[in-house]
Chains A and B, each alone.
Chain A
Amino acid sequence: MSPEVRSIFQIFGVGFVVAMMNALLRHSGREDFAQWTTLAGVIAVLVIVIGYVDHLYQEITRVFLNTQ
């Protein structure tokens, strides 16, 4: 499995698990914990994609600004 495909599955998995945790916590009346869990999920996904975002910016800079 290529790293890109693995990352897609990883992000899908994190989103799915965080959505389930969020629903569970809201159902039991812990809205504050649910919000923290969502935030943790967003940060986890950001950590996963930050390398790709960096690569994207470098590519955009290279293609359109010809700085490299």
Chain B
Amino acid sequence: MLISTTGLGFGMARMYRARPQQIAHLAQAIRLLRQDIEFGQIPLISAVQRVGDSLPSPVSQVFTEIVDRLSKRCTAEEAFHHAVRHVGESTAMNAADFEPLLAIGSVVGTSDRSHLSMEIDSALIRLQGREAEAIEAQRKNERLWQYLGILTGLLLILVMW
């Protein structure tokens, strides 16, 4: 019982620890996507594929899913939404963290380059804010969940003794 509650506590702590890293990876992915689309002039599907290949899991899975959807003739907006809905849950990020990516998905392929560039700038700024907020949440909650897991296990053992 102690091992299982400790594991749960450490699992929650790991989620808080992973979130800022994953948001940073997402920001890096958006920067890479901008490079490939704006300067490399690579088609969207190849650009997303390259971004997915160059990032660590689980953020890369979101981009792999987008490629999968784009190859099935979905629009970019649908592909981004589908990927976030299906793969987003397996990451430590919440729905609001994916909003900047979805905003890019809604303009990519349907607007001109300057509009896309503005949207990417805005997304990166928003992601910076989300990352700062995630670091603050990590500082407050990581240790708390580790200790709470152990203490809850001890409490249950004592009550059932």
Contacts and interface: CB of A to CB of B under 8 A. Distances in A.
Interface of A: 6, 10, 13-14, 17-18, 20-21, 24-25, 28-29, 41, 44, 47-48
B113 interface: no
A14 B151 contact: no
Interface string B136-159: 000011001001100110110011
Given A21-B148, A24-B147, A24-B148, A14 B140 contact: no
Contact of B151 (A6, A10, A17, A29): A17
Contact of A13 (B144, B147, B148, B154): B154
Given A21-B148, A21-B151, A28 B140 contact: yes
Contact of A28 (B144, B154, B158): B144
A17 B144 contact: no
Interface SS of chain A: helix
A48 B140 contact: no
Interface of B: 140-141, 144, 147-148, 151-152, 154-155, 158-159, 161
Nearest to B147: A24
B149 to A, nearest CB: 11
A14 B141 contact: no
A44 B140 contact: no
Contacts, number: 35
B161 A24 contact: no
Contacts of A24: 144, 147-148, 151
A6 B155 CA distance: 15
A25 B147 CA distance: 10
Given A6-B161, A10-B161, A44 B144 contact: no
Which 7 residue pairs spanning A and B have beta carbons closest together? A13-B158, A17-B155, A28-B144, A44-B159, A21-B151, A17-B154, A14-B158
B58 to A, nearest CB: 27
A48 B148 contact: no
A10 B156 CA distance: 11
Given A24-B151, A47-B159, 18 more contacts: A10-B159, A13-B158, A14-B155, A14-B159, A17-B151, A17-B155, A20-B147, A20-B151, A21-B148, A21-B151, A21-B152, A24-B147, A24-B148, A25-B148, A28-B144, A29-B140, A41-B155, A44-B155
